Each structure stands twice: as C-alpha cells, then as structure tokens.
Amino acid sequence: MYRSYHSALFIALVIYFFSASQAFALTTPTAPKLKAKSYEVIDFHSGKTIAEKNSQQKLAPASLTKIMTAYIAFQEVEKGNLSLDEKTRVSEKAWRTEGSRMFIEVGKFVSIDELLHGMLVQSGNDATVALAEHIAGDEDTFAQLMNQQAQLLGMSNTHFTNSSGLPDENHYTTAHDLALLTRALIAQFPELYKINAIKEYTYNGITQQNRNKLLWRDSSVDGLKTGHTEDAGYCLVSSAVRKDMRLISVVMGTKSERTRNDDNQALLNYGYRFFKTHLLYKANQPLAKPRIWRGAQKTIEAGLAADLYLTVPRDAYKHLEANLDVNPQLSAPISKGQKIGIVHVMLKGKEIEQRPLVALQGIEKGSTFDVLKDEVLLMLQ
C-alpha cells in the first residue's frame, strides 16, 4: 500500500478507539469476578467486547432460545409475511408443551401479537410453539429456520432443536453467539423489540410479570430475556441505554435468579463506568479527496461504507490517533464503493484497528487527451 497523507487534519486527528487486549490496559480495571459459567458484555453500536468469560463455551440456553424465535417472527412481520393481527389455531402440542405457560387453550384462535407478548413477557413455551408451528408448519421445520439464521448471523457455535429451549443435548449456544443475535434483533427490529420492556401481561384473565427483574431495578434496562432449566442454570440477556450508549450483557449458568440479576447489573455498571462509545465517522462522510489519474475528474471523495462507532476506555483518548493510507496512483475508471485505501487506528504508535477507505462516487475514464496528459505526468514522476 502506498502511503499518502492528503490532509493535515486527518494526519494529526486524535480519535477515540480501543483494543480489548491493549487499550484496556491503560488504567482500566479488570471486569468484576463473577461466578457465572459464561458471560459477555458488548457495546451495541460498535460491537466491541468489553468483558467476557468463557464466551465461546457451548451451553444449554433454556428460554434464551426464544430470542431467536422472536428474531424469526419479527423478520416475518417486517417482510409482510406475518401480521400482528393475524390469528392462529392452538394445536394440542402447543397446549401440552411443558414448562412456563401463557395458558392458551387448545383449539382456540390467538393473535400473533398476543403470542409474542406471551412468549417474551410471560416466557410461555406454549405461545412459543404456537408461533413456530404457525410460521413453519411444525416445530422441527422451524428449528431448521433457526439454524439457518444462526449461520447467517455468524453464530458458529450454536445449534437449535426446538423453539422454546426445552432441554436437548443437541440444543446449545454461547454467550458470544447470543450477544450477536441480540445485537441483530435490536438493530433490525427496534419497534418490536420494545415488547421486551413490558413488565407484565394479562392473557385469559391471568396476569404474569416479566421474569427480567432488572426492569424494576434499573430504569435504563429495556430487555431482554431470562432462561432457566436444571441443566442451563439461571441465565439472562439484558440490554440497557444510558446517554445514548447501549450495552448488551449475556450471563449464563448461574445458581440463582438473584445471581443472574446481580451479575448482569455488575457487567452493565462496569461497562458504563469505564467505557464510552462515540460515533467517529458517519457512513458516506467525505474524509479525503485523493488525486485520480486518467479520469474525467481529477479528485474523488473517499470515506467509509458504514458508520464507525468506537468504544474506548474513558481515559484512552489522548493515546490514540488515525492515519489515512491512500494509493497515490488511483486510476480511472473507479466504481462507487471500491476500496481505495485504509484508515489506520493507532494506539501509542501501534495499529489496533483498520477500516477500508472506499470511493464515495464513481469516476469514469477521461478523454483521450486527459489520459495522455496523465500518462506523461506519471512518467515524469
């Protein structure tokens, strides 16, 4: 890669960034020591891991499984394949499903909206199976959809056999994979996600409270899902927003409901206390205008294809800088979105991150005169 600095502003630009193994070491304390089998806390916007323990360990997820069931249901609603007002007839299998219940009745018609509330607020296994059957025909087929979506989301250590999380030796996931799933669900379905913040729901004359007690303890928490079986222990995926910074915390395999709540609260508090997330650059924001050879135009606007959010330790700011590395012999034609350089993020002189610098516009090849003129200039260089 040829190095060319096109703007003193960007050469000297001090930015906010971090590396989990390097920037954290500045003055940031280590994460709380928790007894959970596995956990991970990430920033929603940047996707950066703030703390983790055994986050790639395959474990039984219990009702955390319902996050994937919700993801697929939300996706069907967004695509227009499913309506919240649409009703489905409750099968005997759904009605008989063991574990926590919404108390739907066999043969009765229940709306998709009611089933989503029954699944996410009341954690009803019966509601979950009814949703799966309505979407895919039967639960086995729905499990195939779950596994396909898991692969698309990069959940490489996950396999589902049912929609509710009932115990099965081939039904497992990881804290990291659940963090990926939760991030995707919130990003893609922000309105439907709000169901997770509801503290209680009444169906068939029976009112049940949301099992996520952090909704009462911490006003910044707005989701997401609890889980418990003898095999899985007590689990909780939580998410919170404080001053526009959203964190996602996944805790798996604790010994009590209180512990899973305390562990999630500890991770959220740690993340908010010692880290901060910034939107450094917006997508399609011009960062440089490098020279283009043999083109109809002499320069091209360059930037990033996606928003660049950075999560950094609160005291890491002064130790970071960024450089733009642009090919000095860019030649037309160049298509919009084509990679033409790299943004390097440095910590005390050591690279910790890089992002592709792309063309924000297309440049066609110039006239014969333009091409010949640039050929001569390049030869002289």
Name the residues annotated as catalytic.
63, 66, 123
Whole-Å CA distances, 218 to 44, 197, 268, 298, 361: 18, 12, 10, 55, 46
Among 43, 62, 33, smallest CA distance to 252 is for: 62
Q: Could you write out the DSSP letters of every residue in 270-339?
A: HHHHHEEEEEEE-TT---B--B-BSBSSSB--EE-SS-EEEEEETT-GGGEEEEEEE-TT-BS-B-TT-E
Give the separation between CA 219 and CA 227, rounded to whole angstroms. 21
Give the separation between CA 121 and CA 200, rounded to whole angstroms. 6
Q: Are 248 and 273 in contact (CB under 8 A)?
A: no
Residue in the block written with tokens 């997330």: 277
Give the separation between CA 360 and CA 15, rounded to whole angstroms. 22
Q: Where does 202-289 have alpha helices with state H?
A: 214-217, 257-274
Q: Could you write out the DSSP letters of every residue in 60-126?
A: --GGGGHHHHHHHHHHHHHHTSS-TT-EEEPPHHHHH--SS-----TT-EEEHHHHHHHHHTS--HH
Give the separation between CA 1 and CA 341, rounded to whole angstroms. 8
Give the separation between CA 270 and CA 278, rounded to whole angstroms. 17
